[in-house]
Amino acid sequence: MADIKPTRSELMKLKKKIKLAKSGYNLLKKKRDGLILEFFEILKHAKTLRQELAIEYKEAQHKMNIARTLETDLKIKSLALAVHDMPTITLQTKNIMGVVVPKIETTMAKKGMKERGYGIVEGSSVIDEAAAAYERVVEKTIKAAEVETAMKRLLQEIEKTKRRVNALEFSVIPKMQQQEKFIKLRLEEMERENVFRLKRIKD
């Protein structure tokens, strides 16, 4: 390493690189912390949705059991087959701190009796209540899917950002600082050698 002769210009360039790396490190830390806060907010929402979905599903099952008790299974299946307009799902995206997550819009999840394809004569209030309950389950399931997918995307981005922060903090910046230290010491050594050489020339 003694024969390496760095220059002041190299030292200045390295100092700029270190400054840039530290700036990037601070920005990534802020991004990581912001993503973590967003993640926990969405996690709370996801937990609430899961609880609501469990309640809605239990209620739908209860209403279907009442319908099956008061009506025949054959009639319920026949009315189910009469439904032609299926819910339509539109997949869009939204941005959370630079992370693209899905935004799911749905139409026709909730329907009236006529929209379900059977009339008042063929159907009954218990069947209509059971159908409405399951429509609410579908709607809630779609919302839960949107939120949980957003959670997964955020978690992936948090992990990626954490790796970059750690790489800068424990590898990239310390290596550059060691290099800076070596160049400074080498330049000082070269200056001393020059001073000694000049003295000898004068002598």
- Residue predicted with more confidence, 57 or 195: 57
Nearest alpha carbon to residue 150 among 40, 30, 34, 57: 40
Kindly list the structural domains of the chain, giving each domain's residue range(s) and its CATH number in brackets, ordered by start: 10-194 (1.10.287.3240)
Residue 101 has which token pair?
């997550």
pLDDT band at 119 (very low <50, low <70, confident <90, very high): low
- Dihedral sign for Cα 26, 27, 32, 33, please: positive
Question: What phi, psi does 88 have (nearest 5°)?
Answer: -100, 140
Nearest alpha carbon to residue 106 among 94, 95, 90, 93: 90
pLDDT band at 115 (very low <50, low <70, confident <90, very high): low
pTM exceeding the 0.85 threshold for the entire prediction: no
Burial (CB count within 10 angstroms: exposed 0-12, middle 13-18, buried 19+), residue 35 = buried
pLDDT of 110 reads 64
Residue 87's Cα: distance from chain center in Å? 27
24-37: average pLDDT:
96
Instruction: Tell me the average pLDDT of the chain.
Output: 88
Give tens-digit pLDDT for 140-176.
999 999 999 999 999 999 999 999 999 999 999 999 9
pLDDT of 77 reads 86
pLDDT of 111 reads 64
pLDDT of 181 reads 95
